Amino acid sequence: MPGAFEGETVTRRGLMTGGALAAGGIASAAFGLPALGFALGPIFNNDEINDKWQDVGAESDFNERTYVAKVATLVTNVGEPGKTTVYIRKAAPEDRSPSDKPGKPIMPYVAISTRCAHLGCPVRYVQASEKFICPCHGGVYGKDGSVDGGPPVRPLDRFYTKAENGRVFVGKRFSVNSKLERFPHPRDPSNHLDGLWQYIYPGRPST
């Protein structure tokens, strides 16, 4: 090897250059990688998500004909912005989802999230037309939350519900596809859930 002494496999200069570069690389990685992990951490944890059952009212508050608007907390540590409106009605037999096991009872209440499946604006329920309508880009949903028109890519998200001691509780949010099959990790708005689409919009550890 040119520049090397007898029996050497690396030149002294090469060793010093490599050593200096390696030391610089290690020093940069020593602060860079923890900082990067620090910034990316929230992708992997769901501490902020409220996954407790929340009491939203007495069973007598709700009926099968129309939705009643209630407020639930989605994110725990942010105050007002962490709250959301939930539209709740009593479930009818035709609300059975393909995800419900045959012969087992279905969820007692239908709780629809107001987060539009297009880009996340808050929808409102209009009783006269029995539609959910989004103010931002004109998304329209039917009474069961399935898409009637506009840009949304899937039905409105829902919440798990249960009734105990005459009170109604809502739990975690879940997403549904156009057949109202349940997906345990709620997806972001704009994520399709039908056919092959469901695989390019994976469920995330943060939900």
Select from 18, 37, 42, 184 the one that contacts another protein (CB under 8 A).
42
Pick one of 121, 133, 140, 180: the residue that binds another protein (CB under 8 A).
121
Using CB under 8 A, pick the residue from 11, 99, 146, 206 that binds another protein: 206
Q: Which residues does 44 contact at the CB level (< 8 Å), separation at least 6? A: 205, 206
| Residues 187, 118 contacting (CB under 8 angstroms) | no
Least Cβ distance, residue 23 to another protein (angstroms): 25
- Site pattern 48..87 for another protein (x: CB under 8 A): xx------------------------xx-xxxxxx-----
The CA R_g of the chain, rounded to the nearest whole Å, is 26
4 lines the binding site for another protein (CB under 8 A): no
> Closest Cα partner for 195 from 170, 183, 177?
177
Q: Beta-carbon neighbour count of residue 8 at 10 Å?
A: 12
**CA torsion, ordered 23, 25, 31, 33, to nearest 10 deg:** -140
Under rule CB under 8 A, residue 28 binds another protein: no
The reply on whether position 39 binds another protein by CB under 8 A is: yes
Q: Which stretch binds another protein (CB under 8 A): 11-19, 38-46, 90-98, 174-182?
A: 38-46
The piece of 13-21, 44-52, 54-62, 96-104 that touches another protein (CB under 8 A) is 44-52
Q: What are the residues binding another protein (CB under 8 A)?
A: 39-40, 42-43, 45-49, 74-75, 77-82, 118-122, 136, 186-191, 200-202, 204, 206-207
